[in-house]
Structure 1
Amino acid sequence: MNRSQLPKRTGGRTGGRANRRKGTRVFNLVTFAQRSVVVAIVLALVAVVALGKLAWIQLFEGQATAEAATKSRTVPHTLQAQRGRIVDANGMVLAQSLERYTIVGSPKAAADFTPVKCTKATSSYCHSIDGKPVGASGPAAVARLLAPVLGVNAMELGAQLTGTGSYVVLKKDVTPQIKRAIDKLHIAGIISAELSNERSYPHGDLMGSLLGGVDTEGNGVAGIEYMENGLLTGTDGYEVYQQGRQGQQIPGTEVKSKQPVNGKDVHLTVDGDVQWYVQKALQEGKDKYHAGWAMAVVQEPQTGKIIALADTENHPAGSAEAKMNPPLVVSQTFEPGSIGKTITLSGMLQEGVHAMTDKFTVPDHLKVDGQEYHDATNHQAEHWTMAGILQNSSNVGMVMAGEQYPDQKRYEYLTKFGIGQPSGLGLQGESRGLLTSPQTWDRRTRNTVLFGQGYATNAIQLTNAVSTIANKGVRNQQSLIAQVDGDGKSTSSSTQPVRVVDEQVAGQVMNGMESVAEKFKNVAAVNGYRVASKTGTAEVAGANGSLTSIVSDWSGIIPADNPRFVITVVMKDPQGTYGGLTAGPIFAQIGEFLMQKYEVPPSAPRTDAIPVEW
């Protein structure tokens, strides 16, 4: 068979290629259709699952999910209680808490911050600086907005806000005005303000160490702030509400709240005006007599209220020095010297050992049981009554009068007058002094206690001892904190007064003390007013611990015919030495101020003086 007889191929090569292309198209269409079906099935399955999940959530988990979302937006916020004030007897504020804020930032939230451009629609919550865009995002944007308000460097502030933490303190003690300016920046979700009351002491070193101070948490750590911390401290409250993305409260979402209970005010018995004047008089006296220090206490004998409690070791209230150093008038102890003779005389009269008119012939020195005693000045044998021994402050006379006065009674009356006993004021750093039992006394101590040596006291104890005499023989509990009811009205102390000696005995000792004051009328008189007083001079430990320093003191009652105040002044190492010549003039200066301030009527003339000589 030749080639011409072979069957012819229809279409040839061209037809074959066409058939192959057609088959490919068919295959592709089939593949696409198959894939489409698969995708449709998958989508349908996803839709079914999603719809099923949605139905499940709505039917079975809807409430739980809603509650979870609400819970994530619901946050508690502490409402801080304000610490109570400390005020003087006249209501003058000595310590108070000012509204201040601690500004806190969240670096984590700052990292996601994007300023909102200001338009008509966003004008109530947008961000700008002087009407211009912020020009940054993240911590830098927050810092640019906040730095001018806080008055800090923007770059440093931005560095503080950079990180992954959620809490960083940016600035403390911010005023309410600045806090309100921060609120207007619309960055509440990033920057928040925590109320942190700042303790303020408006009068500086007036009663500085007495007031003490608080720590960084606002708790009292010294002085009145510590002693009355429980009363001054309030109870914080809280608010629970839902907040938006920027940390703002969503209106109407408050679910629970409790208002804080502020601390109560503490009312002192101290009169701030008197305290200021006493501090001034002490400083002037210290400078005039070149003393190491000076201190004073002013007390109402009828009530036991302390009107002033001052010394020259002043520190601003709230300072580290005020927190570390209790008032010198509380912590410093000393031998009272001849002021102690008033206690001895009271005990002798009460026990019937002597009368004020008993007669003595008193030399300037005396030897008893191998111990020699001297008066402050040399003198011939004097004819003095018991009142005269007190007026002339004779150590020898007291030893002579004490022959029939047992050691146990000497100790007993010192104790009854409060020597060596806690004052009950509760002040930090208060020393109770030192009074040993008579069983430990040696041959000398048993007699030196008769004239105010051989034991140690402080100015508070000594003032109350003299106040007991001024109060007709009744010792009151001293008070520095006024007892007040819920309305702030004064109430009486719960501590009952104690009778130490009879009224007649106290009156006779007062009479003798008036004679003492008359002896110093040229240096320590208060014109128009009778004064009953006693001076003292004693050795105390100096810087090396040995008895190388001198304490000069004076405790006086004014007016003597109608006691209103007892004033005790104590000085260390004054030039002039004797209490009547140094502490006495300061007493008179304070006494004159008190008579004028409280408009005390002048005294009636003295007509019943007990003879001092025979």
Structure 2
Amino acid sequence: MTKNYLKFRSRTLVVISLILFSWIGLSIRLFQVQVINAAKYRELGFKQAQAQIPIPAVRGNIYDKNSKPLSRNIIKYSFATYPTKISNSKNLANKLSDHFGRTAKYYNEKLNKNKNFTYLERNLSKEESKSILDDLPEGLIVERDSHRFYPNGNIAAQLIGYTDPDNLGLTGIEKQFNEYLTGTPGWVVRQLSGKGNSLPNNRLPSKAPVDGNNIQLTIDLDYQVVLQEELNRRINETEAQSGMGILINPQTGEILAMASLPDFDSNYPSKYSMEYHKNRVLTDQFEPGSTFKFVAAAAALKHQLVDLNEEFFCENGQFTFAGEIVNDHEDYGLLTFPQIIENSSNVGIIKIAERIGTKKLYRACRDFGFGMPTNISFSGESPGTLRHLTKWSGFSIASVSMGQEIAVTTLQLAMAYAAIANGGFLMKPLLVKQIIDSNGKSIYKESPEVLRKVSKPKVMKELTKMLTRVVETGTGTSAHLPGWSIAGKTGTAEKFIDGEYSKTKYISNFAGFFPSDNPQIVGVVVINEPKYGFHWGGIGAAPVFRRVVKRIINMDDSIQILKDKYHKQKPSMLADDVFEPNNFPIKPIFTKAVYVDTDQYSNSMPDVRGMSLLQAKVILREMGYKIKFSGSGQVAWQSPKPGADIVEGSTCIIGLQ
């Protein structure tokens, strides 16, 4: 008995000791967890029970000068989860597969591969998301993000640019002003249930997002549409490789339209060659040819080296200078200074350049902004090419005066002609009118800036008279518009390829402004490699300027005032092109049919404001026009404006509200 008792006692002591030591160990561990490492485990518990959910900021929009949208934000849905919070991942994968059409294996791999916050689907439309939103599985987190949309498609695409799937700007204004457009994201802490679902708790911390700023450009959407359509029309007519164009307000330097063709649709940039994405108005340089002759003419006038009535013998169309033969397109004999510009005589301008000298001619080129950036608020601008005097040959003064041995961008040429139009001031080109924050407050404005004074107004007035004669009776008559005074200069440049000038590939260009006695708009048109016969600047490019001006006259209210002045002087001017808004003769629109007398008004834009989208579509499509629209409701605005000249196949943009 004693032996058994001792055995029992020892076993009891062992058990008690084990219990005691276990209790001591547990107490020590509890002390470590609850006291020593309390903060650590408290934070870990919070992480398991809470999640910080990002709240994206709404990206600011881009508008034209009249507040018409060039970009919009549409809502896209993304679906995510914390895989560790999902009790039945296979069930979730099957549900997602049923709704979205992917295989269950695809979602299982995502759920098993990732343990942290994981996106299962991103950037889906409301229609694509509707079924899952109506039957939301437990543990699935829904994010509503704004996604970029460009209501005008290819209109000003190179200028506006586009964003990536995360709404970060990749090109154009979207990239240049990404910092302003992006805004500041916010966040909210959500309490999660054991299954990963959000629980209501208003006392958890949060930070509201700050939406991005809006960018208002100097671009006029109506002008932009007209320029692109007419440029595209001429490219097709002349079978050219490409084209560029720009419209500028010479008094302020504001860019009103800027086009490079071929172009692309900003909504689907990956479908187009990257070459189409380039804003060639800023990046591509070319030898301008005779549109550059104004530089020598301006220098001669500024330094009073030539009398306006003085005659120059133009060698009957052929002249040898510095060992090189120079030809005119006609066998000119005696020509006065204005006639040299009017008829674009190479021989005549070289003789004038001889009087000017290399230093003064070089200085004139620099004064007009050639060989240097224009300082536009846009990256990727080419400075052009103007070699320093030390690198000029004996023939360079002749070449430069004719627009060779120098390369310019379309923007540079336009700003130089703007200096003629405004009386002698080289302006900084303006692209951004203002930046407006999410509260509607203007936080930045670009004001007109004079870079330098090129010459006196008197000099520019005389030069304007010469350029006006070019359009009225000289090489630029294809730009002439009855009843309007237009100044301009044509240019035909042989392309410099593989070290020599091509005899088959040309650049046709025209630079001008109107009205010449009160300039409102400066324009430059460049047609690259038109078919032979259309390669002359007066034939290939000048008609585009005329067509653009004609359409703008009928759509711009400020120019209508000038139109009345000229119309009284010459009653025949454009009388057939005038369209009275709101007088488009349509019968009442019923549910079954719409009647439109399209033949009578086939060249004018009807007024569809106040109509439903269906009504506007019926009218515009019946007349042969393409339609782009944004918004919902009734038509609030349209581009082109009512009464504007348009051609069949034109694109009409309408905004619904």
Give the alignment's TM-score, normalised by structure 1: 0.80
Worse-matched range after superposition: 191-200 or 462-471: 191-200
2:285 aligned with 1:333? yes
Q: Which moved more, 1:337-346 or 1:42-51?
A: 42-51
> Aligned partners of 2:524 and 2:549: how far apart in 1?
11
Partner SS state of residue 83, structure 1: coil
SS state of the match for residue 442, structure 1?
A: coil
Task: Quickly say closer, same or farther: Cα 1:38–1:180, change in 2 above 3 A.
Answer: farther
Please say which structure displays the higher CA radius of gyration.
1
- Match of residue 270, structure 1, among 212, 215, 219: 219
Decide which of 488, 493, 509 is 1:553's aligned counterpart.
509
Contact 2:471 2:477 in 1 (8 A): no
Instruction: Spell out the pairing of 1:338-377 with structure 2 (5 A cutoff).
Output: 338-363=290-315, 364-377=317-330
Q: CA deviation at 1:91?
A: 2.0
Give 1:196 shift: 4.7
CA distance in 1, matches of 2:134, 2:181: 34
Q: Distance in 2 between matches of 1:484 and 1:225?
A: 13
Q: Is the 8 A contact 1:108 1:163 kept in 2?
A: no
Distance in 1 between residues matched to 2:301 and 2:524, nearest whole Å: 24
| 1:163 shift after superposition | 5.3
- Tell me the equivalent position of 1:448: 399
What is the identity, as a one-letter code, of the residue corresponding to 1:104? A
| Residue matched to 1:83 | 59
Alignment of 1:215-230 (within 5 A): 215-230=164-179
* CA distance 1:406–1:69, change in 2 (3 Å): same
Residue from 170, 173, 192 that aligns with 2:141: 192
Partner deviation per Cα, 1:501-527 (whole Å, 9 max, x = no partner): 101111110011111110267632223
Task: Map 1:380-529; keep pairs closer than 5 Å.
Answer: 381-382=333-334, 384-484=335-435, 487=440, 491-493=445-447, 495-519=449-473, 523-529=478-484
1:564 aligns with 2:520: yes
> Are 1:209 and 1:323, in contact at CA under 8 Å, matched by a contact in 2?
no
Superimposed CA distance per residue, residues 408-440 of structure 1 (whole angstroms, 9 cap, x where no aligned partner): 110111111111211212434432211001221
**Equivalent position to 2:96, from 140, 146, 150:** 146
Q: Is the 8 A contact 2:215 2:434 kept in 1?
A: no
Q: 1:100 to 1:35 in 2, by over 3 A?
A: farther
Per-residue deviation at 1:92? Answer: 2.3
Shift of 1:564: 0.5
What amino acid maps onto 2:454 in structure 1?
Answer: V
After superposition, the C-alpha distances for 1:206-237 in whole angstroms (9 at most, x for unaligned) are: 12222222334432222222211221222222
- Mark the CA change 1:246 to 1:186 in structure 2 (over 3 Å): closer, same or farther: farther
AA paired with 2:514?
I
The match for 2:547 among 581, 586, 589 is: 589
Counterpart AA for 2:222: D
Which residue identity is paired with 2:483? G
Deviation at 1:192, TM superposition (A): 2.5
Which of these residues, 87, 99, 109, is aligned with residue 75 of structure 2? 99
Question: Given the superposition, is the C-alpha separation of residues 432 and 293 from structure 1 closer, same or farther in structure 2, using an over 3 Å criterion?
Answer: same
Deviation at 1:466, TM superposition (A): 0.6
Query: Root-mean-square deviation (CA), in Å?
Result: 3.5
Secondary structure at the residue paired with 1:456?
strand
Q: How does 1:108-127 map to 2 (within 5 A)?
A: 108-110=84-86, 113=87
Contact 2:252 2:448 in 1 (8 A): no
Using the alignment, how far apart are the partners of 2:354 and 2:113 within structure 1? 85
Change (3 A) 1:444 1:519: same
SS, match of residue 471 in structure 2: helix
Q: Is the 8 A contact 1:343 1:465 kept in 2?
A: no
Secondary structure at 2:386 match in 1? coil
Alpha-carbon shift at residue 567 of structure 1 (Å): 1.1
Is 1:145–1:185's contact at 8 Å kept on the other side of the alignment?
A: no
After TM superposition, give the deviation of residue 34 of structure 1 in Å: 7.5
Q: Which residue of 2 aligns with 1:118?
A: none
Shift of 1:355: 3.5
More displaced stretch, 503-512 vs 572-581: 572-581
Q: Which is richer in strand?
A: 2
In the alignment, the residues of structure 1 paired with residue 463 and residue 185 of structure 2 have an alpha-carbon distance, to the nearest angstrom, of: 55
SS at match of 2:407: coil
Supply the AA of the counterpart residue of 1:365.
Q
Partner of 1:84, secondary structure, is: coil
SS in 1 for 2:385: coil
Alpha-carbon distance in structure 1 between the residues aligned to 2:499 and 2:82: 58
SS in 1 for 2:259: strand
Which aligned pairs between 1:255-294 and structure 2 lie closer than 5 A? 255-294=204-243
Aligned in 2, Cα 1:69/1:569: closer, same or farther, shift over 3 Å? closer
Q: Which amino acid aligns with 2:151?
A: P
What letter is aligned with 1:531? I
Counterpart of 1:473, as a letter, is G
The Cα offsets for residues 468-515 of structure 1, whole Å up to 9 and x where unpaired, read as 000111111001222346546684427444211101111110011111
Is residue 2:111 matched to residue 1:161?
yes
1:19 corresponds in structure 2 to none
Shift of 1:288: 1.0
Contact 1:356/1:508 (8 A) holds in 2: no
Partner Cα separation in structure 2 for residue 164 and residue 512 of structure 1:
74
Match of 1:578 in 2: 536
Q: Structure 2: which 5+ residue stretches go unaligned? A: 570-657
Between stretches 415-424 and 44-53, larger displacement belongs to: 44-53
What SS does the corresponding residue of 1:418 show, helix, strand or coil?
A: coil
Correspondence for 1:130: none
Q: Aligned partner of 2:93: which letter? A: A
Is 1:536 matched with 2:485? no
Structure 1 residues 296-318: Cα deviation after superposition (integer angstroms, max 9, x where no partner): 11111011111111122212225
Is this contact kept in 1: 2:430–2:448, CA < 8 A?
no
Post-superposition offset of 1:537: 0.9
Q: RCO higher in 1 or 2 (8 Å CA, sep ≥ 6)?
A: 1
Which amino acid in the other structure matches residue 376 of structure 2? L
Residue 95 of structure 2 aligns to a residue whose secondary structure is helix
Q: Distance in 1 between matches of 2:44 and 2:95?
A: 34
- Is the Cα contact below 8 Å between 2:283 and 2:381 reproduced in 1? yes
Shift of 1:391: 0.6
Q: 1:278 to 1:543 in 2, by over 3 A?
A: farther
Pick which of 70-79 and 524-533 moved more: 70-79
- Residue type of the partner of 2:536? Y
AA in 1 matched with 2:326: Y
Checking the alignment, whether the CA contact within 8 Å between 1:88 and 1:268 is kept in structure 2 is yes
CA distance in 1 between counterparts of 2:445 and 2:111 reads: 55
Amino acid at match of 1:307: L
- 1: CA distance, partners of 2:23 / 2:386: 96
Distance 1:54 1:418, change over 3 A: closer
> Is the Cα contact below 8 Å between 2:513 and 2:520 reproduced in 1?
yes
Alignment counterpart, residue 262 of structure 2, candidates 300, 313, 319: 313
Query: Which residue in the other structure is 2:123 paired with?
Result: 173
- The answer to whether the Cα contact below 8 Å between 1:102 and 1:174 also exists between their aligned partners in 2 is yes
Deviations 1:184-205 (A, max 9, x none): 656453x323455432222222
Alpha-carbon deviation of 1:330?
A: 2.2
Aligned-partner Cα distance in 2 for 1:42–1:180 = 64
Q: Distance in 2 between matches of 1:241 and 1:485?
A: 33
Asked if the contact 1:187/1:246 (under 8 Å) is kept, the reply is: no
Give, in angstroms, the shift of residue 32 of structure 1: 13
Residues 200-211 of structure 1 mapped to structure 2, 5 A cutoff: 200-211=149-160
The unaligned stretches of length 5 or more in structure 1 are 1-22, 114-137, 608-614
Instruction: Give aligned-pair identity as a percent.
Output: 26
Distance in structure 2 (CA, Å) of the matches to 1:169 and 1:68 = 23
Count of matched residue positions in the alignment of Structure 1 and Structure 2: 553
What whole-Å deviation, never above 9, does each CA across 1:531-561 have from its counterpart, x for those lacking one?
0111111111358975342111111111112
Q: Encode CA deviations 1:138-161: one digit per residue, 9 max, x unaligned.
A: 333213333333344445434543
Alpha-carbon distance, 1:72 to partner? 3.8
Instruction: Say whether the 8 Å CA contact 2:74–2:149 is kept in structure 1.
Output: yes
